[in-house]
Amino acid sequence: MKETLIEFKNVSFSYDNEEQTPSQAVKDITFSVRKGEFIAILGHNGSGKSTVAKLTNAILLPEKGEVLINGMNTKDESLTFDIRRTVGMVFQNPDNQIVATIVEDDVAFGPENLGVEPAEIRHRVDEALKTVGMYEYREKEPYKLSGGQKQRVAIAGILAMQTECIVLDESTAMLDPRGRREVMNTIRTLNREKGITVLYITHFMDEAVEADRVLAMNDGEIMLDGTPHEVFAQSEKIRAAGLDVPQAAELSQMLIEDGLNLGRVALTVDECISDLLAILEVSR
Amino acid sequence: MSSEPIIRTENLTHLYSEGLSSEVAAIHNINIEIMQGEILAIIGHTGSGKSTLIQHFNGLLKPSTGRVFVDGKDIWESKQATRESRFKVGLCFQYPEYQLFEESVYKDIAFGPKNMGLDENETGIRVRRAAAFVGVDDDMLERSPFDLSGGEKRRVAIAGVMAMEPKVLVLDEPTSGLDPRGRDMVLDLIGNYRRQTGNTVILVSHSMEDVARLATKVLVMNDSQIAMCGSVEQVYSQGTLLYEMGLNVPQITRIFMGLRSHGIDVNDGVFTVEQGRNEIARLLKSRGVQK
């Protein structure tokens, strides 16, 4: 078993609300993330997903309970710097997180703030841009890039800080299909080849099935936690919580209801094709 | 349905930075006819010209060359014609909830009709009618738009455009950023609106699944030009071409394209899960398979 990177222990959080009685965004949740895991977090708007994301790097602090990052308690202000150096975040809107007028300056912003040596910054920026496939755009102006390219620059900015974990909060929501593919491929490569831990918040079920583990949130609580197959097999719970199942899973479930012996609920296009081929070949 | 298109463009071209070295055609030589009562989906990658195109439909952008006709009238023929096009074609931008600004939901929805010069009484009727379309209850009308959830704000913003009762409702990415439940509500209300009013709806979308559910016709933009225009069936059967343009087809369509490439004799025209279920049933039946 690999060591734990993120640990939530009985964490609750409420937003201050002047007019209404405060409602708990996150209710007594406990879970942990091991180093190198790729976890997708699902949930309807207001289910607490983004609150969980912001609790992981001390943007928000728990009201009750504790969040530990590599054993560091986020409530300890003297550790905030080290925590943010461990967990980096990419947000939804690509235009709201670029600060510089040249791509490579933007990527250098993080390590500069950490006080990294200039020669080392140069090295890290080049490496990070190569990793996300944006090296040839290093001297371009960010506003001329597509949404997917901007998000990859934002990811490079985090890599240049050499964080161990990246949290993406609906980072593909505003992108076109190509942009979504670019970001997803980048994240998968970082996870598999660089061992970076990923928390991936999304409304797109076809992205969630690519993760090793899926957490489905509902009304501030973790409703389901398991492999994509385990979680999406609970399609009634998933739908009741206002979420979708991938179309491949929907089709397999319908066909199983129709009496077809598929053996499992497929989650991806390839799984579904091979399950159907197995049945169709026999009947040929 | 009348045979005269509600919107027609003639060799429509729009240049940004016209005359400078950085001059670029955002849309180039666009000729389309949009008929009364259609739900037209416009798809294309970011920067393909979709948003530039729709901003010509109500005169927000002026063509560099070419013409735009709404209801048979050239919208740049006179100032009055341009103004009329603003009310005939209602445009709802992407993330419209960021444009809510009034102190109550009622006032926000009433902003458009008031601007048209309608009296209190008529404005009130229209606000309530539009609110009903989007599922906003009467008691919500007096609340501040800023106290609503993201999905509710989105629907209020759409109601604000509907309340002007345009002949053509144009929605730029109406479901982007919403969760599945919010998305379904918005898609349902667009379908209901179209059925009940018979008005034309134009939808810009990145979601091929949404388009498959709603559209009667699909226009694909690529590199500032029209790459394809036709029924959902015609366009979605060009999966490889769409992929090359940075687009995609729904997962369910990819499953059936895959089966076909493995030599299985399935129909190409599968765009929804229900169609997929029926197609597999048909296939098994034709092979005499007993379940």
Residue A227 lies in a domain: yes
Predicted pLDDT of residue A30: 97
For residue range B217-226, list pLDDT tens digits in order: 999 999 999 9
Chain B residue numbers touching A48 (CB-CB < 8 A): none
The per-residue pLDDT of chain B, averaged, comes to 92
Q: Domains along chain B?
A: 7-232 (3.40.50.300), 250-291 (no CATH)
What pTM did the predictor assign? Answer: 0.87
CATH code of the domain covering residue A66: 3.40.50.300
Candidate from B176, B177, B251 with C-beta closest to A247: B251
HSE-up of A71 (CA within 13 Å, CB side)?
1
pLDDT in tens, A92-123: 888 888 889 999 999 999 999 888 999 999 99
Residues B255, A272: C-beta atoms closer than 8 Å: yes
pLDDT of residue B1: 47
pLDDT single digits (tens) B124-134: 999 999 999 99
Question: A180, A172 in Cβ contact below 8 A?
Answer: yes
Name which of B47, B206, B262 is nearest A177 (Cβ-Cβ): B206
Q: Report CB contact under 8 Å: B258, A146.
A: no
Residue B214: predicted pLDDT: 94
Are residues A120 and A177 both part of a single domain? Answer: yes
Domain assignment present for A239: no
A198 and A282 housed in the same domain: no
Same domain, A179 and A259: no
Cβ-defined contact of B180 to A177 (cutoff 8 Å): no
Give the pLDDT score at B185: 92
The pLDDT, as a whole number, for residue A212 is 96
Is residue A100 in a domain?
yes
**pLDDT tens digits along B63-72:** 999 999 999 9
Domain that residue A36 falls in: 4-234
Q: Are residues A39 and A90 in the same domain?
A: yes
| Strands, E assignment, A92-246 | 165-169, 197-201, 213-218, 221-226
Q: Which helix (H) or strand (E) holds A25?
A: strand A24-34
Q: Do B255 and A248 touch (CB under 8 A)?
A: yes
Domain co-membership, A157 together with A278: no
Chain A residues in contact with B144 by the CB 8 A cut-off are: none
- Same domain flag for A36 and A126: yes
Q: Are residues A229 and A266 in the same domain?
A: no
A251 closest CB neighbour out of B181, B248, B273: B273
Q: How do the pLDDT tens digits run along chain A, 284 residues long?
A: 579 999 999 999 998 765 555 678 999 999 999 999 999 999 998 899 999 999 999 999 999 999 999 999 999 999 999 999 999 999 888 888 888 999 999 999 999 988 899 999 999 999 999 999 999 999 999 988 888 889 999 999 999 999 999 999 999 988 888 888 989 999 999 999 999 999 999 999 999 999 999 999 999 999 999 999 999 999 999 999 999 999 999 999 999 999 998 989 999 999 999 999 998 877 65
A2 interfacial to chain B (CB closer than 8 Å): no
Taking CB atoms and an 8 Å limit, are A254 and B277 in contact across chains?
yes
d(CA A49, CA A200): 10
The DSSP bridge pattern shows strands A165-169 and B7-16 to be: unpaired
User: Do A73 and A179 sit in the same domain of this protein?
Assistant: yes
- The per-residue pLDDT for A21 is 56
B-chain residues near A251 (CB < 8 A)? 252, 255, 273, 276-277, 280
> Are both A274 and A148 inside the same structural domain?
no
Average pLDDT over residues B244-248: 91
A128 located within any domain: yes
pLDDT at residue B102, rounded to an integer: 87
Same domain, yes or no: A225 and A96: yes
Mean pLDDT, rounded, of chain A: 92
Three-state SS string over chain B comes to CCCCCCEEEEEEEEEECCCCCCCEEEEEEECCEECCCCEEEEECCCCCCHHHHHCCCCCCCCCCEEEEEECCEECCCCHHHHHHHHHHEEEECCCHHHHCCCCCHHHHHHHHHHHCCCCHHHHHHHHHHHHHHCCCCHHHCCCCHHHCCHHHHHHHHHHHHHCCCCCEEEEECCCCCCCHHHHHHHHHHHHHHHHHHCCEEEEECCCHHHHHHHCCEEEEEECCEEEEEECHHHHHCCHHHHHHCCCCCCHHHHHHHHHHHCCCCCCCCCCCHHHHHHHHHHHHHHCCCCC
Average pLDDT over residues B76-91: 95
Residue-level pLDDT at A22: 61
pLDDT tens digits, one per residue of B266-289: 887 899 999 999 999 999 888 876
Q: Based on the structure, what is the number of domains in chain A?
A: 2
A107 and A139 housed in the same domain: yes
Inter-axis angle of helices B120-133 and B150-162, nearest 10: 130
Asked if the Cβ–Cβ distance from A254 to B45 is below 8 Å, we say: no
Do A13 and A86 reside in the same domain of the chain? yes
